[in-house]
Amino acid sequence: MIGKLNHVAIAVPDLEAGTVVYRDTLGAKVSEPLPLPEHGVTTVFVALPNTKIELLHPLGEDSPIAKFLEKNPSGGIHHVCYEVEDIEAAAAKMKESGARALGDIKIGAHNKPVLFLHPKDFCGTLVELEQA
């Protein structure tokens, strides 16, 4: 069912410092910071030849990554995102397998339908499924 790894999301306490690490130290191509107020994050995209890294920094109150950064003050990998062809079918498959979703299907940061899955049912890893 899952297709490509769409991105690895890394929460960072300092977006400029994270950008410097990926652009200057690791020599990757990075985007300008993109504020996504409706998702509570500002994102810098790191373009790799086969996938993306997304640096996430909290934006506004109730950012979905604020608590994660409290627990991980140096930052860390927040989630991985796998592509699926049909998000409704994927959600049904999760239910059938007894694997928990976090909330319902919603529109994600790439303006595509997404579903987040419970880390306890996915090897301790927060998983996002995105309709490709």
Identify the DSSP state of 21.
I
Binding to a copy of itself in span 31-50, by CB under 8 A: 48-50
- In this chain, which of 77, 101, 105, 110 binds a copy of itself, going by CB under 8 A? 77
- In this chain, which of 76, 102, 106, 112 binds a copy of itself, going by CB under 8 A? 76
DSSP 71-86: H-TT-EEEEEEEEES-
Give the span between the Cα atoms of 87 and 90, in whole angstroms: 5
Q: By the 8 A CB rule, do 109 and 41 touch?
A: yes
Contact residues toward a copy of itself (CB under 8 A) are 1-5, 8, 10-12, 18, 21, 24-28, 48-51, 53, 55, 72, 74-77, 80, 82, 93-94, 97, 99, 119-125, 127
